[in-house]
Amino acid sequence: TAMKLADYQPPAYQISELYLEFELDDHRTRVTAISQVQRQTSQDAPLYLNGEALELGGVWVAGQPYQPEMAEGGIILQDLPASFELKIETIIDPANNSSLEGLYKSAGAFCTQCEAEGFRKITYFPDRPDVMTRYRVRIVADKQAYPYLLSNGNLLDQGDLDGGRHWALWEDPFAKPSYLFALVAGDFDLLSDSFTTRSGRDVTLQLYVDKGNAYRGQHALDSLKKAMAWDEQKYGLEYDLDVYMIVAVDFFNMGAMENKGLNLFNSKYVLADPASATDDDYFNIESVIAHEYFHNWTGNRVTCRDWFQLSLKEGLTVFRDQQFSADMGSPAIVRLKQVRVMREHQFAEDAGPMSHPIRPEEVMEMNNFYSVTVYDKGAEVIRMLHTLLGEAGFRQGMDLYFKRHDGQAVTCDDFVQAMQDANDVDLSAFRRWYSQSGTPQLTVGTTFEPQTGRFSLSLTQLTAATADQHEKHPLHMPVAVEILDGANNSVQKHTLSVTQEKQQFDFGPFDNEPVTAILAGFSAPVRVKQIQSDAQKQQIILHAQDPFLRWDAAQSLISQYLHEMAGSGQTSVPDVLIELFDSMLRRVDQDPALFAEMLELPSFETLAQQNSPIRVDGLLDARDCLKRKLARTLTDQWQATADRISTGAYQYTQQQAAQRRLRGVCLAYLALSNAPGVESHLHQLYLQSDNMTDTLAVLKACQGSELALFDRLMEDFEAKWRHDSLVMDKWFALHAGKERNDCLSKLQILMAHAMYSINNPNRVRSVVGTFAFYNPRGFHAIDGSGYKFLTDYLLQTDPINPQVASRLITPMLAFGQLDESRQDLIRHQFLRLLDSPQLSRDLYEKVRKSLR
Ligand code: ARG
Ligand code: ZN
């Protein structure tokens, strides 16, 4: 049964106050919930309370015992006063809660994850975001095992009890939906700091990490302070409580959670030191810490009316964290990262059975819609508003949004309305981005009249039908272009506001035909179709001003030849590609960060999105062939470039990270070069490395080659890190991502490793996820063994943790673009899943849509 946006009804009852008491116990935690309930309708109405996996202890209405009616997914109360006190007792089993949703145990600590619909696993409650409540929470637990008892808001009081137990009482002064509730009880190392807001509020910052890990917490705390200062300066938004707590846990389904005043984090987005974390880890920590902090306004102070509106907070908050990351480091590199996410993952989602608009209209399992579409395409939609309205106009819209809606649960329409009213513009056509799924294709045509010098650009947009939606309409999008005049090497920049299916724009006069580079900064989440000569692309690579355009032109030149090679089975590499790399290598010093990205071949996942049906083997072969050829033809340049780099003692700075990345790219080519002494050179670098980024660069280079050194270094690495689960995830992923003939037996060995656990999402993702997402040769093996392996694993893990299973199935959802035989193989696995008697709603929704 699916929920529909069109069926939304406001809640019949609000709950103004909730007193929650937890007597924590591994298997029988007693939860007492006392609510102040107010009917919102003039007539008598039933009160529906969600509840799942609960043992009901008792219900009291206005002090009198009450027998509720048991219903699908909850209970129903009838014949109620207009306003009353409701008391409910439930008993739950956190130690056996492997779904990591609701109250569960992570490595000895009690913790919660309630978004989207996990609160109903704690008590019977109207578990929907438009019911906003002030919480008081009392926690009782054994003092020695759980010295820290935490919940949202401010600590009111605490004390000791008989039998070695103690208690704490918390109050959150801000009304909030149940999904923002959090509780933590455990023993941790605590790092403290403070931040003074610009209006003078002193905020205590607390970071709780596993014992012994305090020395890995400083970067997260520093990132938090940067985020707090940035939001004040950029948006005028301040923190609103006296304490901000972050707890890092090892068992976590997603990245992190913005619970009011008490964020919970996957430990991989908190812990970092140079020896164990890479530059990418440092980047991700800074960005996720900021993301959750920014939610305090975009998510908590103003929240969602219903879950169809998820992008209201996620798209906006991702956009804000991207702006922040750009301001903290290199805007161009942040942008390229994001474009890769869109092209590799979001375009694939939109092309498959799960295609949905950023505001979905029909949902069976909400957890399935924490998607790249809602998050990342959602952020692209906000970015387009920012481009269309300009920095100042966007800020005015944000100010009006907070002025109107602080303390409310609202919709995406409310957000766009605030943007529209603050800027006095018509955004009615723009709103279609919220209801229309699919990736628009923008076809570019140009004409040049030598007599008049007039240059015209015609843009045609077309969105193909998607699995969920047949009819498509034109969208309003900003198309940023650069017009390159070869005659005097000048560049004109324009941002075209495109609203119609076909539009023409005139420029000039020009003496000679100029070159157009389309979609500067990836100004809209579309595919561009444009026929350009190699020479035109080369001109963009050298002379465009926007780094994205330069990178994109290089990628497009490379991709085009890779597709040609894949189609013809040809193994000879065109000279133009060798020349391209040669010329880039000669220029790396101009911008090491950008050239490191430009020297990297387009990923298989990106290439796969460019042509249908996907020529799996052809593309992989062509890519390998080109890599080898570049490695062998330009060996001296790769070597010289790598040798020129010296970074000094590790520091996470943009300059150093760029240098390390560039060297990593060079080493990957060198490992394929056959140059004498390569193996011992790489070995030397491994031994010399004092940081995880350089160590991993060597391991990755070896992983992508046939060098026997790989296994030797991996053994050494394992011996060194075998007790560190976060570092071992890198080791697991290197093995699971390596091409080899005995791939599947290797996976079995990894899953039998002492550090592996099917219950820990990070471990599962590092082995099974890496294989399915990033080992295309193994996963797409033509005998179907990769698909069977994944399906076997889904059947095992689905009953344990459906959210994890449902993410892992993603690579099989792209089956529609594969060749017929692979399609059949995957369909067969889908049928096996459907045959399983207890398939979760999460997997059922995806499999059923795939077979439709
Ligand atoms: N709101 C969290 C974020 O910052 C994501 C939590 C989603 N969790 C889930 N189980 N669906 O993005
Ligand atoms: Zn978020």
DSSP 160: E
Please count the other Cβ atoms lying within 10 Å of the Cβ belonging to residue 449: 14
Q: Can you tell me the mean pLDDT for 88-108?
A: 98
As separate numbers, helices (DSSP H) first and strands (DSSP E) second, the chain gives 30, 31
Q: Can you tell me the mean pLDDT for 208-216?
A: 98
Q: Whose CA is nearest to atom 3 of ligand 1?
A: 257
Q: Which ligand is nearest to the CA of 179?
A: 1
Instruction: Specify the amino acid at residue 841.
Output: R
Distance 843 CA to ligand 1 centre (A): 18
Check residue 674 and give its pLDDT. Answer: 87
Distance 105 CA to ligand 2 centre (A): 23
Q: Can you tell me the mean pLDDT for 407-419?
A: 99
Please count the other Cβ atoms lying within 10 Å of the Cβ belonging to residue 177: 24
Distance 313 CA to ligand 2 centre (A): 7
Helix H or strand E encompassing 406: none
Q: Whose CA is nearest to atom 4 of ligand 1?
A: 257
- In DSSP notation, 337-354 reads HHHHHIIIIIHHHHHSTT
Q: Residues 571-590: pLDDT tens digits?
A: 899 999 999 999 999 999 99
**And the tokens for 178?**
């149940």
- Distance from C-alpha of 150 to C-alpha of 737, rounded to nearest angstrom: 39
- Residues near 470 by beta carbon (within 8 Å), at least 6 away in sequence: none
- Distance from C-alpha of 565 to C-alpha of 573, rounded to nearest angstrom: 8
- 3-class secondary-structure state, position 448: strand
Is 292 part of the annotated catalytic residue set? Answer: yes
620 falls in which pLDDT band (50, 70, 90)?
very high
- Work out whether strand 183-186 and strand 148-151 pair parallel, antiparallel, or are unpaired: antiparallel
Distance 299 CA to ligand 2 centre (A): 8
Q: Whose CA is nearest to atom 7 of ligand 1?
A: 115
Q: Residues 633-644: pLDDT tens digits?
A: 999 999 999 999
Distance 478 CA to ligand 2 centre (A): 25
Ligand 1 atom with the smallest distance to the CA of 254 is: 8
Ramachandran angles phi, psi of 753, nearest 5°: -65, 145
Q: Residues 363-401: pLDDT tens digits?
A: 999 999 999 999 999 999 999 999 999 999 999 999 999
Among 684, 753, 735, 724, CA closest to 276: 724
* Mutation pick for ligand 1 pocket among 104, 370, 375, 845 (CB with most ligand atoms within 8 Å): 370
Ligand 1 atom with the smallest distance to the CA of 288 is: 4
Going 170 to 172 to 173 to 175, the CA torsion angle's sign is negative
Q: Which ligand is nearest to the CA of 269?
A: 1
Ramachandran angles phi, psi of 563, nearest 5°: -65, -40
**378-405 and 310-328 are packed helices; what angle lies between their axes, rounded to 10 degrees?**
110
Q: Provide Rg for the chain, Cα atoms.
A: 28
Ligand 1 atom with the smallest distance to the CA of 253 is: 10
- Residue identified by tokens 């929907």 is 128
Write out residues with Cβ below 6 Å of ligand 1: 113, 115-116, 253-254, 256-258, 291-292, 314, 367, 370, 803
Ligand 1 atom with the smallest distance to the CA of 313 is: 1
Distance 370 CA to ligand 1 centre (A): 7
Q: Which ligand is nearest to the CA of 116?
A: 1
Q: Whose CA is nearest to atom 11 of ligand 1?
A: 367
- Distance from C-alpha of 766 to C-alpha of 762, rounded to nearest angstrom: 6
- 103, β-bridge pairs: 112
503 falls in which pLDDT band (50, 70, 90)?
very high
Q: Which ligand is nearest to the CA of 180?
A: 1
What percent of the chain clears pLDDT 70, i.e. is strictly above it? 100
* Mutation pick for ligand 1 pocket among 98, 117, 127, 254 (CB with most ligand atoms within 8 Å): 254
- Work out whether strand 183-186 and strand 83-92 pair parallel, antiparallel, or are unpaired: unpaired
- 3-class secondary-structure state, position 456: strand
**And the tokens for 161?**
């009890």
- Burial (CB count <10 Å: 0-12, 13-18, 19+), residue 79: exposed
Specify whether the CB–CB gap between 376 and 641 falls below 8 A.
Answer: no
Whether this prediction's pTM lies above 0.95 is answered by: yes
Ligand 1 atom with the smallest distance to the CA of 101 is: 10
Residue 759 has pLDDT above 90, yes or no: yes
Check residue 297 and give its pLDDT. Answer: 99
Residue 327 has pLDDT above 90, yes or no: yes
- In DSSP notation, 103-155 reads EEEETTEEEEE-TTTTGGGTS-B--STT--EEEEEEEEEETTT--EEEESSEE
- Residues near 781 by beta carbon (within 8 Å), at least 6 away in sequence: 743
Q: Which ligand is nearest to the CA of 366?
A: 1
* Length in residues, the chain: 852
Distance 765 CA to ligand 1 centre (A): 17
DSSP 469: B
Distance 116 CA to ligand 1 centre (A): 7
- Which of 89, 286, 292, 365 does the annotation list as catalytic? 292
Q: Which ligand is nearest to the CA of 312?
A: 2
Check residue 92 and give its pLDDT. Answer: 98
Among 170, 219, 229, 216, CA closest to 20: 170
Check residue 160 and give its pLDDT. Answer: 98
Ligand 1 atom with the smallest distance to the CA of 295 is: 4
Q: Whose CA is nearest to atom 2 of ligand 1?
A: 257
Residue 491 has pLDDT above 90, yes or no: yes
- Work out whether strand 13-23 and strand 133-142 pair parallel, antiparallel, or are unpaired: parallel
- Residue identified by tokens 């990270």 is 657
- Work out whether strand 109-113 and strand 183-186 pair parallel, antiparallel, or are unpaired: antiparallel
- Distance from C-alpha of 505 to C-alpha of 496, rounded to nearest angstrom: 8
Among 110, 137, 121, CA closest to 26: 110
**And the tokens for 666?**
């060079």
Residue 429 has pLDDT above 90, yes or no: yes
- Distance from C-alpha of 818 to C-alpha of 824, rounded to nearest angstrom: 10
Among 100, 92, 151, CA closest to 124: 92
Helix H or strand E encompassing 442: strand 440-449
Ligand 1 atom with the smallest distance to the CA of 370 is: 11
Q: Residues 698-728: pLDDT tens digits?
A: 999 999 999 999 999 999 999 999 999 999 9
Q: Which ligand is nearest to the CA of 255?
A: 1
Distance 254 CA to ligand 1 centre (A): 6
Q: Whose CA is nearest to atom 1 of ligand 1?
A: 257
Please count the other Cβ atoms lying within 10 Å of the Cβ belonging to residue 560: 16
> What is the ipTM, given to two decimal places?
0.98
Q: Can you tell me the mean pLDDT for 747-776?
A: 98
- 3-class secondary-structure state, position 156: strand
Distance 236 CA to ligand 1 centre (A): 25
Please count the other Cβ atoms lying within 10 Å of the Cβ belonging to residue 362: 15
* Mutation pick for ligand 1 pocket among 101, 111, 115 (CB with most ligand atoms within 8 Å): 115
Q: Residues 156-194: pLDDT tens digits?
A: 999 999 999 999 999 999 999 999 999 999 999 999 999
Instruction: Specify the amino acid at residue 252.
Output: F
* Mutation pick for ligand 1 pocket among 119, 178, 181, 257 (CB with most ligand atoms within 8 Å): 257
Ligand 1 atom with the smallest distance to the CA of 367 is: 11
- 3-class secondary-structure state, position 502: strand
Q: Residues 517-572: pLDDT tens digits?
A: 999 999 999 999 999 999 999 999 999 999 999 999 999 999 999 999 999 998 89
Distance 277 CA to ligand 1 centre (A): 23
Distance 265 CA to ligand 1 centre (A): 10
Among 648, 542, 521, CA closest to 598: 542
Check residue 486 and give its pLDDT. Answer: 86
* Alpha-carbon separation of residue 452 from 509, 536, 744 (angstroms): 7, 22, 65
Q: Whose CA is nearest to atom 5 of ligand 1?
A: 257
Q: Whose CA is nearest to atom 8 of ligand 1?
A: 115
Ligand 1 atom with the smallest distance to the CA of 375 is: 12
Check residue 488 and give its pLDDT. Answer: 82
Ramachandran angles phi, psi of 37, nearest 5°: -110, 135
Specify whether the CB–CB gap between 237 and 214 falls below 8 A.
Answer: no
Among 516, 414, 418, 398, CA closest to 459: 516
Q: Can you tell me the mean pLDDT for 648-667?
A: 97
